[in-house]
Structure 1
């Protein structure tokens, strides 16, 4: 029986790369993104056994649609997220409505989906991945909104790992990558020196395959056999 993974935010960037890597490793996938056309193109690129469900992860009905499409789940990858305003404002002038949206997308929506998927993960001794950032643990000027949201999801992940010892819960820092979101964080700058998302896929696939203990994981530290 194929293992089943739900991957959010899979139409581009890191989410697309991770979903493709899982598909190539033989997983059945349910993927989402907000834009139907982009998601359809992504599903064609991912290939294999993949179901695409377009919608906003903040929408309870969309979350239910993901669960219905999956049927069950061995892995949930909460990758969907937003940066917030670009260029990023200092906390002293950060628009609070924008900050609420950052927390809604990056913290509350992933937790809501996790709550709904947990019964399936428990039944199959599955795993949860919350994508995080070094900004969650480092104080970078101008990153207060995004970083505080990522710090919140990291702490939520740590508590969940303590509460769900039968599962694997990893909060995964992929490193600086050449993605659209990263470009938005540095408008007008050349980020071509950052590696492409595909470069971290072997480490990610090894993580979910070898299933080390729950905890914070930097993909750069995951050893992949030659």
Structure 2
């Protein structure tokens, strides 16, 4: 994940601006566990989801490999019950368990998903939940023009929703060279590949297709 970290360092501020307008956290909020003690966000970026969860959980930790993303998170979204750490998901290690472990658009960067899922399960309290959202595509790495066309299609709706100035800034980010170079390195799973990979790793999990994204929910159900 080292290359991804460097790429995100280059776009941290503009990514944060766009994500703060466009990201929807409702899937995570609608799948929270009953016990809301501790939560962990893997690939927390600039802390948007950590900040949202901090209003529901006693303590929330966000981890990421991008120094610049973490700096934005600490500057903009630090609360008494939040913590931001530089940590690679493949080296996930904590001295305590969590009630909620989440991740948004991070897993396609991981080299060993089964290893990370295993570590997540080991860190989850009985009754706790894992919720993952990640990109889904029948084309493993879509060409750049696909993202540019998507940005063009979204521009006018964004103008009505956020205003022309904000929409233009989002468009510049989505079509910028550093962001397109980052996307060119992404590799996405198809819908069937999600079922084949995550189904055995998280037995009994539920899948929800949400346009460009796949949502996965798994509960660590107590035995007996």
Give the TM-score, by structure 2 length.
Answer: 0.48
TM-score, normalization: structure 1? Answer: 0.48
Q: Give the number of the structure whose residues are more often strand, by fraction.
A: 2
